[in-house]
């Protein structure tokens, strides 16, 4: 969902989404991830410009959750933070909320500079933490057609005997 109403999330909705992230599994139970909740419109607008493409809708979301991780805590921080990101997306959908993730790691701004460095600058993120993604959250601003299951790529699945 890349279009949101201006309605804010309730404290309970936000807590439930964050609870899902905090309950997400991680390698060896290291929980290397951290989360920064952003609800300030101007900050969301700044963050929406962290990439050349694919982040602009964040300026219309009432909330963004920046997903961070500490590589010194886990060598699979990317996977752990990705699972936490996915758990937030699934929980948001279960609550009837709209959500969309924005990849930050390994992406660039329109001028070619590093997207992660820009997010780090805007939010004053400590140098030891890495930025994986931002999850936009809010009330759905449009209806989407259900996924067409006829498009599932079942040929990508095999069974080991």
- Domains in the chain, please, with CATH? 11-143 (3.40.109.10)
Distance, CA of 133 to CA of 58 (rounded, Å): 12
Distance, CA of 104 to CA of 131 (rounded, Å): 7
- Residues 119-148 have a mean pLDDT of 94
CA 51 to chain centre: 14
Residue 127 CB neighbours (<10 A): 6
**Tens digits of residue pLDDT in 32-80:** 999 999 999 999 999 999 999 999 999 999 999 999 999 999 999 999 9
- DSSP one-letter string for 95-146: TTEEEEEEE-TT-B-TTS-BHHHHHHHHHT--TT-EEEEEEEEEEBSS--PP
Q: Residue 96's closest CA among 137, 39, 44?
A: 137
User: For residue 4, which phi and psi values (nearest 5 degrees)?
Assistant: -130, 155
The confidence score (pLDDT) of residue 150 equals 93
pTM of the predicted protein model? 0.95
SS3 137: strand
The DSSP code for 76 is T
| pLDDT at position 124 over 90 | yes
């Amino acid at each position: 969902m890349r279009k949101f109403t201006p309605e804010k999330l309730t404290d309970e909705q936000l807590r439930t989404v964050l609870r899902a992230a905090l309950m997400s599994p991680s390698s060896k139970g290291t929980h290397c991830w951290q989360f920064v909740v952003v609800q300030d419109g101007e900050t969301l607008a700044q963050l929406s410009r962290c990439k050349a493409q694919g982040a602009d809708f964040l300026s219309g979301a009432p909330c963004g959750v920046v997903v961070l991780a500490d590589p010194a805590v886990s060598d699979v921080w990317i996977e752990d933070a990705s699972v936490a990101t996915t758990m937030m997306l699934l929980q948001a959908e279960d609550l009837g909320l709209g959500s969309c993730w924005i990849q930050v790691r390994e992406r660039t701004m329109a001028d070619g500079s590093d997207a992660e460095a820009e997010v780090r600058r805007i939010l004053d993120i400590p140098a030891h933490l890495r930025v994986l993604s931002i999850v936009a959250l809010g009330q759905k601003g449009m209806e989407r057609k259900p996924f067409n299951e006829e498009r599932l790529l079942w040929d990508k699945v095999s069974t080991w005997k």
